[in-house]
């Protein structure tokens, strides 16, 4: 078996994560790696002191590693270390956008949506309005916001008109009836059938952004227009027709907490490092007391026993 076959097997997950081999891989690796060092220390310092010495060295190293993961460093971006806790998905602490519509429970947390004038273009929000396209793409703040808001628009669009794997719109009966009536009323003369998918979405204008004054949370808005698409005699889709009314959706930005797993790692490592250091100090003090007692006993003159 060559290297390519091994890589293929690794990518295809021939051994599933729930397999006992997968579960025992890391514990056994730590046992063999740590066990050999501990046995070497044991042979020189004894079992207890070996454990204390190894604990200080091991948890001191993991604490420094956690600090680099937590705050970053030269060539080490923040959040590069562990990204989630056991039992959580790998993207549990990632940043994400949460879509909502006006009148929903989420909308009650943000007063900014009651003031449409507070939403401005991404160029104006980042203070780069008036620049040409090349200058905009060179501005890191604008490109970062534009890329992030692009994900927000996708999330809002999925909520505005959800569709299943067959392209069928998953909307309520009342809304579906309204769309069907509008589609039939605006049906083109050359239309002979329906395209698949039939209902679609068009974005009206550009996405806007605003900062909620009370919470300081970044909120984005985008207006959508539902459409219906027919096909002609040749099965070619014709120009989509608008159905329903344009609707504005919103999304708020959750920056996530990529630092949290690394922070927990660092804090736990620090606690065990201090405990190991305290344990080692107690053992050292005990050995020193023993040495003092042995020296005092050796210096005590022998007293002859009366005959």
Q: What are the tens digits of pLDDT across the range 266-302?
A: 999 999 999 999 999 999 998 888 877 766 666 655 5
Lowest mean pLDDT among 12-16, 64-68, 198-202, 239-243: 12-16
Q: What share of the chain has pLDDT > 90, as a percent?
A: 47
Average pLDDT across the chain, whole number? 86
Higher pLDDT, 77 or 251: 251
Tokens of 190: 């050359």
Give the pLDDT mean for 137-164: 92
Residue 202 has pLDDT above 80, yes or no: yes
Sheet arrangement for strand 193-211: 96-101, 241-254, 218-231, 193-211, 120-121
The residue-averaged pLDDT of 206-233 equals: 94
| Nearest one of 161, 172, 174, 173 to 240, comparing CA atoms | 161
Mean pLDDT of 209-226: 94
Q: What is the pLDDT of residue 85?
A: 83
Split at pLDDT 50, 70, 90, the class of 204 is very high
CA distance 134 to 281: 63
**Which of the pair, 196 or 302, is modelled with greater confidence?**
196
| 93 pLDDT above the threshold of 70 | yes
CA distance 69 to 72: 5
- Which tokens go with 82? 């562990």
CA distance 62 to 269: 6
Give pLDDT tens digits for 18-63. Answer: 777 777 877 787 777 778 888 888 888 888 999 899 999 999 999 9
pLDDT at 131: 83
Is pLDDT of 191 > 90? no
């Amino acid at each position: 078996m060559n290297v390519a076959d091994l890589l293929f097997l690794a990518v295809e997950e021939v051994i599933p994560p729930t397999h006992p081999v997968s579960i025992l891989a890391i514990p056994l690796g730590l046992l063999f790696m740590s066990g050999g060092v501990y046995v070497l220390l044991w042979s020189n310092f004894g079992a207890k002191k070996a454990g204390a010495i190894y604990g200080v060295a091991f948890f001191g190293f993991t604490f420094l590693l956690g600090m680099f993961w937590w705050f970053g460093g030269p060539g080490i971006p923040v959040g590069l270390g562990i990204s989630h806790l056991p039992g959580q998905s790998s993207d549990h602490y990632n940043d994400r956008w949460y879509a909502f519509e006006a009148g929903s429970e989420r909308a009650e947390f943000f007063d900014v949506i009651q003031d449409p004038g507070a939403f401005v273009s991404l160029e104006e929000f980042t203070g780069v309005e008036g620049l040409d396209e090349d200058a905009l793409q060179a501005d890191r703040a604008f490109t970062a916001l534009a890329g992030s808001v692009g994900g927000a628009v996708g999330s809002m669009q999925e909520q505005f008109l959800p569709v299943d794997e067959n392209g069928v719109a998953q909307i309520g009966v009342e809304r579906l009836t309204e769309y069907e009536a509008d589609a039939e009323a605006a049906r083109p003369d050359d239309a002979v059938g329906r395209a698949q998918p039939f209902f679609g979405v068009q974005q009206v204008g550009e996405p806007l952004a605003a900062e909620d004054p009370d919470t300081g949370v970044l909120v984005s808005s985008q207006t959508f227009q539902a459409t219906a698409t027919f096909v002609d005699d040749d099965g070619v889709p014709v120009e989509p027709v608008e159905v329903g009314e344009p609707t504005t959706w919103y999304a708020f930005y959750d920056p996530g907490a990529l630092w949290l797993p690394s922070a927990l790692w660092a804090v736990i490592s620090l606690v065990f490092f201090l405990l190991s250091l305290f344990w080692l100090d107690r053992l050292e003090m005990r050995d020193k007391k023993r040495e003092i007692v042995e020296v005092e006993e050796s210096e005590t003159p022998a007293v002859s026993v009366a005959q």
